[in-house]
Amino acid sequence: MDRRRFLRTLLSGATVAALGPALLRGGEALAGDPAEFAAGLRERPYLAGWRQVAAEAFGPTTVQLEGRLPADFAGTLYRNGPAWFERDGFRYEHWFDGDGMVHGWHFGNGAVTHRGRMVQTPKFQREQRAGRFNTPAAGTTIAEPVAIRNNDDANTANTSVVTIGGRLFALYEGGSAFELDPDELATLEPTTWRPDLQALPFSAHPLRDRDGSWWNFGALSLMGGGGLLLWHIGADARLIDAHVHALDAPGYLHAFAQTDRYLVFLMTPFDRTAGGSFFESMAFAPQRPCTALVIDKTAPDRVMRRFEVDFAAIYHFGDAFERGSELIVRAAHHDDVEHARSPHRAAMFGHAGAASPAQLAELRLDLRTGRARWHMLGVPGMEFPLFDARTAGDSGARLYMPATVGEASAPYFNAVQMIDAAADLRTVHRYGRDILVEEHVFVPRPGSTRPDDGWLVGTLLDPTRDRSGIAVLDAQRIGDGPLATAWLPYAFPLGFHGHFAQAAA
């Protein structure tokens, strides 16, 4: 059987058939109540981070920057996140369910111009017409859902955004990337990299390799199977190749990591309980170990090594590197499996909740001995770790991430920090008690090859003044605070991930 036939057989057979039951199970709607959320919001203004977006489109809105933007800082920060949570008296109970809104923050001439646009997926358009949610969701049971043909009929395109070969894609973990117009953010179409791979999962966390190509995976557990579909996309946004690595047991994975030579995937074990949507019926299985897969980039059609390691629920990885016979992978390590199954669930209901219980950890995989273990790095209350991809492959990178420092009025991040684990260095900027702080993206200084020479750009929510904003910091002087900040005359809910497209010099 040739490879293409094999893929089609595997992916159009039992796994695709299993998608329907996994997502379409009926039953009573167990959603949140918009009125209950609104009452909570009056008491806890920070819940604006989980509030239904006020409009289908924002901007273009140009605001002056406070402070001074470096002359060579130019380009657009694209971000994505769930924004549409309520219809017809029904509110999603899981943060990941909201339909995606993509934002573009374009910097130039001492100002920033913001646009926000709902991604016009078939799901969003169908529900706009119907006036109610009628499509299976990832984490909430929907009553009387329409039948869906494939994952893209339920795709919310709500998790991240990436630019490949000058083309902009809104990403979701369970289906295709949706291509958008990079200037106007108008939705073009879902991307089919090869006809036999239409509508298959293309995760929200692709990784760019040093040669400019992109690696990504699709989790087969989202289709009722086990294992992953490995994608390799060229710098020109054409498919180089795709491979299926099937596993017998279900494992959840949301992102992965790479060293110069290897790709590292960590499958977190879970069981399916009866009924409900994917996340409702999923129970992490902390009594079982995780499976780590190592794939050699020069032989992507096979798994080079397989490890077992103590259970951990992971969404996001930082850098990875090789040290002697070991692969070292940094990650935001969640011990609280219920928080990991449904992050900030209390906020979705308008209730008070707990902050992120994740801590920074290293996964150490010894290729010589086969030993795998976790090592905690003593950095609690963090998520969304990012780094400068120019860092050499034989040493750990400095990691940049939101943090909670001192008093915070929200169970969320109020600061940004740099952690250099090797040098035992930490620098912090605390935005303030009432500011909600999102992922900060590293932007390299044009013309420089020195790792960590550049800036951080991150978005903010100020619920006390009902406004969203953005800040630019010197990555080497985080403690000095932002070089430039801009605030919009409106607010929108928190997002997940962003990508900075630098303007051509």
Q: Find where tokens 């995606």 sit.
A: 100
| DSSP-assigned letter for residue 386 | B
Alpha carbon of residue 35 to chain centroid: 29
Q: Is the peptide bond before 489 cis (omega within 30 degrees of 0)?
A: no
CA torsion sign for 235, 236, 237, 243 is negative
Q: Where are the beta strands (DSSP E) in 247-337?
A: 251-252, 257-258, 262-272, 282-284, 290-296, 305-309, 313-323, 326-334
Please choose, from the candidates 318, 467, 324, the residue with its C-alpha nearest in 3D space to the C-alpha of residue 382: 318
328: closest CA among 320, 336, 338?
Answer: 320
Work out the burial of residue 287: count CB atoms within 10 Å of its CB; fewer than 13 is exposed, 13-18 middle, 19 or more buried: exposed
In contact, 117 and 57? CB cutoff 8 Å: yes
Is the alpha carbon torsion for 77, 173, 356, 47 positive or negative? Answer: positive
CB atoms < 10 A from the CB of 34, how many?
A: 17
73, burial (CB in 10 Å: exposed 0-12, middle 13-18, buried 19+)? buried
Q: Give the annotated binding-site residues.
A: 205, 254, 316, 497
Residue numbers belonging to the annotated binding site for Fe cation? 205, 254, 316, 497
**Cα–Cα distance, 217 to 330 (Å, whole number):** 19
Q: Which helix (H) or strand (E) holds 337?
A: helix 337-341
Return phi, psi of residue 3, to 5°.
-60, -40
Torsion sign, CA atoms 171, 172, 174, 178: negative
> Comparing C-alpha atoms, which of 368, 304, 309 is closest to residue 333?
309
> Strands 290-296, 262-272: parallel, antiparallel or unpaired by DSSP?
antiparallel
Task: Give the 3-state secondary structure percentages of the chain, helix then strand then coil, rounded to 5.
Answer: 15, 40, 45
Q: What's the rounded Cα separation, in Å, for the pair 171 and 268?
A: 21
Other beta carbons within 10 angstroms of residue 63's beta carbon come to: 17
Distance in angstroms (rounded) separating the CA atoms of residues 430 and 413: 9
